[in-house]
Amino acid sequence: MVDLIASPGDPIWRQYVPTVQELEVHDGLVDSLDEDANSPVPNITHRYPDRALFLVSPVCAAYCRFCTRRRKVGDPEKIPMAQLESAFRYLEEHHEIRDVIMSGGDPLLLSDRRIDDICKRLRAIPHLEVLRIGSRVPCHLPERVTPELCAILKQYHPLYINTHFNHPDELTPAAVRALGMLADAGIPLGCQTVLLKGVNDDPEVMKLLMQRLLTARVRPYYIYMCDQVAGAEHFRTTVEKGLEIIKALRGWTSGLAVPHFVIDAPGGGGKIPLLPEYVVKLTDTEIVLRNYAGKTYRYSQPVEPILVG
């Protein structure tokens, strides 16, 4: 668990301690992303052309109050390998898939042996170029990241891990050590953060989180608008708040610390990026731009060469 003490109302407390606000269901949605519509076989979500989500674990590292999969609980070994056969066959038969994201739940809550078996099966599929793992374990259970686990993962490069931190206080010494072990095993690390009211909906808090992630050798990857999850309305901010935060990052800190700001579109539309408005005017001859400090600049469009006959 995270090695810090949370107090009622602070950002850590708000993320993990239930409140009566969760009983307020405004839209009745439990899974607004409609993953089942893109699930051709059990445990596979194939929404994008060249990549697929492979659900390998039914249990999360933490009971997230703002996740579409927060309902998935149980024994991390509950899905037997035999039950994953249809998913492996689907990946073998679909040569357009080059990138597989292992998710769940949380894949790193599986045993070392199960992780090894799954990665070995995936690496035996010639057209799968990249393996990815989505995990909250480095934040919530950093003790799970052991030399043995790192040695297993190191065998299956190129392998990437996207982890999930929402507040700078979650980057505890134990979490930073775990991230360091994974990075030392040659695993590129990214972070997917969710914009949450009362947790990180402050430009300075978010900037500090992104900077500390970079220091821990984690590249900020996405900031998500909170999903439209039943009982999580109290966590949702306005889209304008997210744009304000991105505007406070871009130009004011390293470009490496500026993630993509996206909405995972309801109904299975996928991730749609949003940016503050930097284009003032666009014509055939020039573009007028506004930079991070609010100053405007002109950039000329290319002039077509005059052909001499």
Residue 69 annotated as catalytic? yes
List Cβ neighbours of 283 (8 Å cut-off, separation of 6 or more): 301
Choose, from 69, 132, 207, 212, the residue flagged as catalytic: 69
Choose, from 14, 60, 114, 160, the residue flagged as catalytic: 60
What's the pLDDT at 71?
45
Residue 113 annotated as catalytic? no
Select the more confidently predicted residue: 3 or 85. Answer: 85
Residue 224 annotated as catalytic? no
Spell out the CATH class of 11-276: alpha beta
Choose, from 114, 227, 236, 247, the residue flagged as catalytic: 227
Read off the tokens for 152: 């297993």
The chain-wide mean pLDDT, for the chain, equals: 89
Gap between the Cα atoms of 8 and 20, Å rounded: 14
pTM (global) more than 0.85: yes
Measured distance between the N- and C-terminal CA atoms of the chain, rounded to whole angstroms:
75
Choose, from 14, 64, 139, 247, the residue flagged as catalytic: 64
Choose, from 10, 47, 156, 197, the residue flagged as catalytic: 47
What's the pLDDT at 1?
44
- Tell me what the mean pLDDT of segment 274-296 comes to: 95
User: pLDDT, tens digit, for every residue of 189-221?
Assistant: 999 999 999 999 999 999 999 999 999 999 999
Gap between the Cα atoms of 212 and 207, Å rounded: 9
Choose, from 106, 116, 201, 264, the residue flagged as catalytic: 264
Gap between the Cα atoms of 229 and 66, Å rounded: 6
Q: Are 246 and 276 in contact (CB under 8 A)?
A: yes
pLDDT higher than threshold 70 for residue 4: no
Residue 271 annotated as catalytic? yes
pLDDT-derived band at 309, boundaries 50, 70, 90: low
pLDDT higher than threshold 60 for residue 267: yes
Biggest CA pair distance of the chain: 79
Choose, from 65, 67, 114, 212, the residue flagged as catalytic: 67
Residue 295 annotated as catalytic? no
pLDDT higher than threshold 90 for residue 28: no
Select the more confidently predicted residue: 29 or 146. Answer: 146
Give DSSP secondary structure letters for 57-92.
-S--SS--TT-TTTT--S-TT-S-GGGGHHHHHHHH
Task: Give the start-to-end residue ranges of the domains of the chain.
Answer: 11-276, 277-309
Residue 98 annotated as catalytic? no
User: pLDDT, tens digit, for every residue of 223-241?
Assistant: 999 887 767 788 899 999 9
Residue 227 annotated as catalytic? yes
Residue 177 annotated as catalytic? no
